[in-house]
Structures are given as C-alpha cells and as structure tokens.
Structure 1
Amino acid sequence: MCGAPVQGQNLPAGVDAEKETVITGKVVGEAGDPIGGAFVRLLDSTGEFTAEVVASGSGDFRFFAAPGTWTVRALSASGNGEASVSPESAGVHEVSITVSK
C-alpha cells in the first residue's frame, strides 16, 4: 500500500495557484473510462524520476513541480501511457494520460 496522499482536482486549502506550479490530470483508458490506482510518475526533461503518486479511484493525480518540461507516465494493470506538459509559469496545468496495453 502506498502512503501517498489522496489525489484530486481540488487543490488543498492554503495552496496559492498564482505562486505554485501544479500539474494535475486524469488517467483514462482507451474508451475514456477513469483508471484508478495507476502509479503516476513525474519525470524531468532528461527522463529522470522525480516523484510518484497513486491515481485516485476516479483516475485523478496531482504534482507540485517547477516550470519546465515534464513527462507524466502512468503504469497500471490496464496498460501504460504517458504525456508531456511544459508549464512556463505558476498555475494549474492539466494533462490527460491515456493508457493502453
């Protein structure tokens, strides 16, 4: 069992989205159905592992990062997938990851 906090689209109280760079999104299957329990990894621009969370039951995940180029990779029993996101400044930056076998 992973000790990661519950993920979701709503930011925790006290988080200032004008000062924080937040990467948030959803893991979905090929049919668009949410994939809960997927391991979602954040990789930097060189492909180095930075962080990992477990997607919520509705497939939601969230990372606090710095501006730059990131790869977000999902690993699940339903398959794997990845997406890129390049936030240039603070704010909430959304990305969807579609997994397939």
Structure 2
Amino acid sequence: MCGAPKQGQTLPSNIDAEKETVLTGQVVDAEGTAVPGAFVRLLDSTGEFTAEVVASGSGDFRFFAAPGTWTLRALSRSGNGETTVEPTGPGIHTYEITVK
C-alpha cells in the first residue's frame, strides 16, 4: 500500500500552510479534462527523483517541499507532461500539469 497522503485540494486540518511549502494542483489533458490515476513525480533542480504520488480520481496531487526550483512531471495513459515551478516560501502553491 502506498504511504503517500490522500491527494486532493483540501489540506488536512493538522497542516499549517503558513509554515509548510505545499505544491498542489491537477493533471489535465489538452482539453482541460482531469486525468485520474496519473503518476506525478517531484524532481529536484538537478532532475533527480524526489517523490511520487498517484493523482486522485479528479486528477489532484500534492507534495510538501522546500522553497526552490522543482519539476512536476505527470505520466499517464493520456500522455505525459511537466512544468517547472519555483515556490519562494511557505504557503499553498497551485499548478496545472497538461499531458499530451
């Protein structure tokens, strides 16, 4: 069984978004439709694998990370996509990954 937290846009009540850097968002296809079950990977600034979660039924994903430069990569049956993000500090940072 996967040890990753349940994915979704709503944070658990025990998470303080003023202290945590949260990377969250949704995987979508070219038409903007949610892509459930995509594997979403978090890569550091050198491209090294850091973590992976499976997107929820509505395509949502979430990671807790440090401020800095990260790549969010989605792999799915609908295609693959990625985006580079640079959260500068604590808070909820929301991104969309389009797969093609």
TM-score interval, smaller chain: over 0.9
Structure 1 stretches lacking a partner, 5+ long:
none
Q: Which residue of 2 aligns with 1:49?
A: 49
Q: CA deviation at 1:42?
A: 0.1
Tell me the amino acid that sits aligned with residue 12 of structure 2.
Answer: P
Q: CA deviation at 1:6?
A: 2.2
Q: Does 1:92 align with 2:82?
A: no
Q: CA deviation at 1:84?
A: 1.1
- Deviation string, structure 1 residues 45-83 (Cα, Å, up to 9, x no partner): 000000000000100000000000000000000000001
Q: Does 1:24 align with 2:24?
A: yes
Residue identity (%): 71
Q: CA deviation at 1:95?
A: 0.8
Q: Which residue of 2 aligns with 1:68?
A: 68
**TM-score of the pair, normalised by structure 2:** 0.96
CA distance in 1: counterparts of 2:36 and 2:87, whole angstroms? 25
- Deviation string, structure 1 residues 12-67 (Cα, Å, up to 9, x no partner): 11100000000000000000000000000000000000000000010000000000
Runs of at least 4 residues off by over 3 Å: none
**TM-score of the pair, normalised by structure 1:** 0.95
Give RMSD over aligned pairs: 0.8
CA distance in 1: counterparts of 2:86 and 2:5, whole angstroms? 24
CA distance in 2: counterparts of 1:6 and 1:17, whole angstroms? 17
